[in-house]
Amino acid sequence: MQKQTPKTFEDKAKSWTQFPDQCKSCGLCIAICPQKVLSWDEEVLGHFGQHTVKCDVKNCIQCKKCENICPDMAIRVKD
């Protein structure tokens, strides 16, 4: 698989970044998100050729639960 660049979703005061090369599409982040702002990204494939995750950053509360649960450190949440 060809190396992919990180995909960042940004709002005025925050950003949520997905690193496709590190994502194994386990879905733990989607399951733990209290706001349900994470979903599968139909356009970007991860490490094993599965869909990665995208974020509705506008409704994200930056709790960082997704970042903390990711076993592959494929998510970064910044404010």
* pLDDT, position 4: 77
- pLDDT tens, position by position, 53-74: 999 999 999 999 999 999 999 9
Instruction: Tell me the pTM.
Output: 0.89
Complete domains list, the chain, with CATH: 7-78 (3.30.70.20)
* pLDDT, position 2: 57
- pLDDT tens, position by position, 32-52: 999 999 999 999 888 888 999
Using the predicted structure, report yes or no on whether residue 76 has a pLDDT greater than 80.
yes
Residues 6+ away with beta carbon under 8 Å from 5: none
Provide the token pair at 24: 């194994």
Query: In angstroms, rounded to a whole number, what is the distance separating the alpha carbons of residues 9 and 72?
Result: 19
How many angstroms separate the most distant Cα atoms in the chain? 33
